[in-house]
Amino acid sequence: MKQSIRITSRVNKRLYADAIPGHFATNHSHINYYIDMSEIKHSMAMSREAARSIAYQFSSTSIDTLLCMEGTEYIGAYLAGELSSVGMGNVNSGKDIYLVEPDSNVNGQFVFSDNLRHMIEHRNVLVLVNSASTGQTFSQAKECVEYYGGRISGFAALFSNISELSGKKVVSLFSGADFPHYQNFVRGKACPDCAAGTPLDAIVTPRGYNKL
């Protein structure tokens, strides 16, 4: 792993992320940068800024529930507050918005316990994730929400390498274009580091990374 590179968000100049060059594996792909969003997810000030930037993009979208994944619950709480604040043109003004996180079954599918199902069924759901390299997590979340009778209102990510999914724009604070020569290889196929015999530096998890 090499020295990290600090990148400022084009969406909000008060937000930054550190990109660590290397050879990393996620659940769905191999990537040549680990995009560290720790400060945004765990700093009160930056979480608020992130929430404001995301909420602005959804001020005219009806949202009943936030599906917060990959350690974004802290931001989600601020986001719910921003979405429900009283303001001109805010369709969610005064609304009590639910925040939920799914469990996973033995097959890796997202599921909800019975006591949370009413927070999804017949609700407009915004999915919030830390990172969307391939869109696989968004797709799984969409399938889960629809299985429980909910409707997807939109997709939001701190970092996203995709711009839309299922006809809906993916709102993000950072994109692959923000990082020099960012690449991801679905399921590790055609990964040049693997072809060159370069060992993995770390395994990326929803909460961070673990060095090998």
Render pLDDT for 105-120 as a digit per residue (tens, 0 to 9): 878 889 999 999 999 9
Tokens linked to 64: 């009943």
What pLDDT, on the 0 to 100 scale, is given for residue 134? 86
Say if residues 128 and 70 touch (Cβ distance below 8 Å): no
Whether 85 shows a pLDDT value over 80: the answer reads yes
Interval 4-44: pLDDT, tens: 889 999 999 999 999 999 999 988 889 998 999 999 999 99
CA separation for the pair 146, 28 (Å, rounded): 22
**What average pLDDT does the chain have?**
92
pTM of the model: 0.90
C-alpha distances (whole Å) from 15 to each of 41, 113, 151, 173 are 11, 35, 30, 8
Within 10 A of 33 (CB to CB), how many other CB atoms are there?
Answer: 23
What pLDDT, on the 0 to 100 scale, is given for residue 157? 97
What pLDDT, on the 0 to 100 scale, is given for residue 183? 87
Percentage above 90 pLDDT, the chain: 76
Buried b (16+ CB within 10 A) or exposed e, 101-117: bbeeeeeeebebeeebe
Q: What pLDDT band is residue 88 in, cutting at 50, 70 and 90?
A: low
Interval 141-179: pLDDT, tens: 999 999 999 999 999 999 999 999 999 999 999 998 898
Q: What pLDDT band is residue 97 in, cutting at 50, 70 and 90?
A: very high
CA 193 from chain centre, in angstroms, equals 26
More confident residue, 187 or 31: 31
DSSP sequence for 103-114: EE-TTS-EE--G
What pLDDT, on the 0 to 100 scale, is given for residue 163? 94
What pLDDT, on the 0 to 100 scale, is given for residue 171? 97
